[in-house]
């Protein structure tokens, strides 16, 4: 069978089997269509039906999470863990707690995670989990009770050699602390590598909170270097205000650039002076653990707030979406292109819709895909697991040097794979191909599973 027909056939099967999972279908379609030239050169992979095998999760767990709110009412949420692929190592990936979580979202994130984790070159498989529980507006005690109930089920499915969850949207150091505490009690062992993103007081890694944002900027630096540019004096539009955005603001500012926007689902802030002082970084952290909003940031630091708008019409040198999936659509990229922005670095997972990606490509905008650019977070999680196994901890300089090295190699492998398969400098295709080949080889070696 011709490879494009084979790819089409598998995508159609996914569409028929999981018709309502639109984010998952989008992720599969995006990865698989870029693999046609690879499969042309590798009939062995078509013969062993690699695509159908790689888009079927090894296991999906869905469970009830009952918890008591502060008024004594029992609430119920839905919990998920998708253990997608363990060919390269134990399942690894974050937990997302936010109201919009569905199985389709967790499945697409787990699928992306498989390739992202392979790209890091570290021994980790891919998984993801979460819940439609919304931590914003909940008390500390409610969050603790929710996390404990969530772990009551999850603990039997995870472990340092099995599956190691971490944070993501709505899950930071506080939630990880409650989750790990409950995990430790239920297992009756200090299996530190069973959960990452822990505070350094309980065997976490230095620099894990910063790692996703720093990694994105290290990746951006590699891209810019190839165009004889760097971040000095560059202005950057960022979306979101959470952990990823915080890390990006800090590293961009370290390297002499300036992040001028932040956003939430309610609007965006234009901070002409730049998000580049310790006071502003700390304010971002404070926003996450309180009910402060971007409007308050604007008042505090004397800048403009634009309700119900996204930051993509601001004239900048570089755009880094750091909020959530499909946050950048066709209208947004039209504005970005008309502002002569040359680079878009994806901080969040799958932030750009398919038609918007096509428009960026048609207009020669350089796009760094999320599964490559944001892999620094999970990389330092894997380094946390290594430190846990050694019962040792590396210094900030050591972790930072390793992170930098991982991001540089990762960039090279995406660039090389794109060139090898006729994609020129298409980093999206390069990331898909390089990640896919690593997972596919690992699966083949292990027989027909």
Hey, which residues are catalytic here?
128
Compute the distance between CA of residue 301 and CA of residue 159 in angstroms, rounded to an integer. 44
* b/e per residue 361-373 (b: at least 16 CB within 10 A): eeeebbbbbbbbb
Using CB under 6 A as the binding rule, whether residue 204 contacts ligand GLU is answered as no
Provide, rounded to whole angstroms, the least separation between the CB of residue 61 and ligand GLU.
17
Residues 6+ apart with CB under 8 A from 2: none
Nearer residue to ligand GLU within complex by CB, 172 or 257: 172
Interface segment toward ligand GLU; rule CB under 6 A; list 61-69, 92-100, 155-163, 410-418? 92-100
Q: Which one of 89, 93, 129, 213 is in contact with ligand GLU (CB under 6 A)? A: 93
Using CB under 6 A as the binding rule, whether residue 377 contacts ligand GLU is answered as yes
Nearer residue to ligand GLU within complex by CB, 10 or 166: 166
Nearer residue to ligand GLU within complex by CB, 196 or 261: 196
Site of tokens 């062995």: 44
Which residue's C-beta sits nearest to ligand GLU?
94
Binding pattern to ligand GLU, positions 341-370, x when CB under 6 A? --------x---------------------
Short-list 4, 92, 223, 440, CA closest to 432: 440
- Adjacent-strand bridge partners of 78: 64
Provide, rounded to whole angstroms, the least separation between the CB of residue 165 and ligand GLU.
7
Provide, rounded to whole angstroms, the least separation between the CB of residue 357 and ligand GLU.
19
Using CB under 6 A as the binding rule, whether residue 121 contacts ligand GLU is answered as no
DSSP codes joined into one string, 378-408: HHHHHHHHHHHHHT----HHHHHHHHHHHHH
Using CB under 6 A as the binding rule, whether residue 206 contacts ligand GLU is answered as no
Provide, rounded to whole angstroms, the least separation between the CB of residue 212 and ligand GLU.
6
Count of residues near ligand GLU by CB under 6 A: 11
Rg of the chain taking only CA atoms, in angstroms: 21
Q: Which one of 79, 94, 170, 242 is in contact with ligand GLU (CB under 6 A)? A: 94
Identify the H or E element spanning 129.
strand 126-131
Q: Which one of 367, 378, 399, 433 is in contact with ligand GLU (CB under 6 A)? A: 378
Nearer residue to ligand GLU within complex by CB, 204 or 257: 204
Asked whether the beta carbons of 83 and 127 are under 8 A apart, the reply is yes
Residues 6+ apart with CB under 8 A from 127: 81, 82, 83, 84, 91, 92, 93, 110, 113, 163, 165
Binding pattern to ligand GLU, positions 170-199, x when CB under 6 A? --------------------------xx--
Residues 6+ apart with CB under 8 A from 72: none
Short-list 151, 141, 148, CA closest to 69: 141
The residue ranges of DSSP E strands in 245-330, in sequence order, are: 258-264, 267-270, 304-307, 318-320
Nearer residue to ligand GLU within complex by CB, 112 or 332: 112
Using CB under 6 A as the binding rule, whether residue 166 contacts ligand GLU is answered as yes
Is residue 260 classed as helix, strand or coil in its secondary structure? strand
Provide, rounded to whole angstroms, the least separation between the CB of residue 312 and ligand GLU.
22
- Footprint of ligand GLU on this chain (CB under 6 A)? 92-94, 166, 168, 196-197, 349, 377-378, 381
């Amino acid at each position: 069978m011709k490879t494009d027909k084979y790819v089409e056939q598998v995508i159609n099967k996914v569409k028929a089997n999981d018709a309502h999972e639109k984010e998952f279908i989008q992720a599969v379609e995006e990865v698989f269509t870029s693999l046609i030239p690879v499969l042309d050169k590798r009939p062995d992979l078509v013969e062993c039906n690699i695509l159908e095998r790689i888009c079927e999760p090894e296991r999906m767990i869905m469970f009830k999470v009952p918890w008591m709110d502060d008024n004594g009412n029992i609430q119920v949420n839905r919990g998920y863990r998708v253990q997608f692929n363990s060919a390269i190592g134990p399942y690894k990936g974050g937990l997302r707690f936010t109201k919009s979580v569905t199985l389709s979202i967790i499945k697409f994130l787990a699928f992306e995670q498989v390739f992202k984790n392979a790209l890091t070159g570290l021994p980790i498989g891919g998984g993801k989990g979460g819940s439609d529980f919304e931590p914003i507006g909940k008390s500390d005690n409610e969050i603790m009770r929710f996390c404990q109930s969530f772990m009551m089920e999850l603990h039997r499915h995870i472990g340092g050699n099995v599956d190691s969850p971490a944070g993501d949207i709505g899950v930071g150091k506080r939630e990880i602390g409650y989750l790990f505490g409950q995990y430790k009690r239920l297992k009756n062992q200090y299996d530190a590598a069973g959960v990452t993103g822990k505070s350094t007081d309980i065997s976490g890694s230095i620099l894990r909170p910063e790692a996703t944002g720093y990694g994105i900027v290290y990746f951006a630096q590699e891209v810019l270097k190839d165009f004889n540019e760097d971040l000095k004096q560059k202005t950057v539009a960022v979306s979101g205000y959470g952990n990823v955005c915080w890390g990006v603001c800090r590293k961009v500012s370290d390297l002499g650039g300036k992040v001028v926007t932040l956003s939430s689902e309610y609007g965006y802030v234009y901070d002409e002076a730049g998000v580049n002082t310790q006071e502003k970084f700390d304010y971002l952290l404070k926003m996450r653990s309180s009910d402060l909003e971007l409007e308050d940031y604007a008042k505090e630091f004397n800048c403009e707030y634009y309700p119900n708008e996204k930051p993509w019409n601001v004239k900048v040198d570089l755009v880094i979406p750091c909020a959530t999936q499909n946050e950048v659509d066709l209208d947004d990229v039209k504005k970005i292109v008309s502002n002569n922005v040359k680079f878009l670095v994806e901080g969040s997972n799958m932030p750009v819709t398919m038609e918007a990606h096509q428009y960026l490509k048609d207009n020669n905008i350089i796009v760094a895909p999320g599964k490559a650019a944001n892999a620094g977070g999970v990389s330092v999680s894997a380094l946390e697991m290594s430190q846990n196994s050694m019962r040792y901890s590396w210094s900030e300089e050591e972790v930072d040097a390793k992170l930098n090295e991982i991001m540089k190699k990762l960039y090279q492998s995406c660039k090389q794979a794109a060139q090898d398969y006729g994609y020129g400098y298409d980093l999206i295709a390069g990331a898909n191909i390089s990640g896919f080949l690593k997972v596919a080889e690992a699966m083949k070696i292990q027989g027909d599973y």
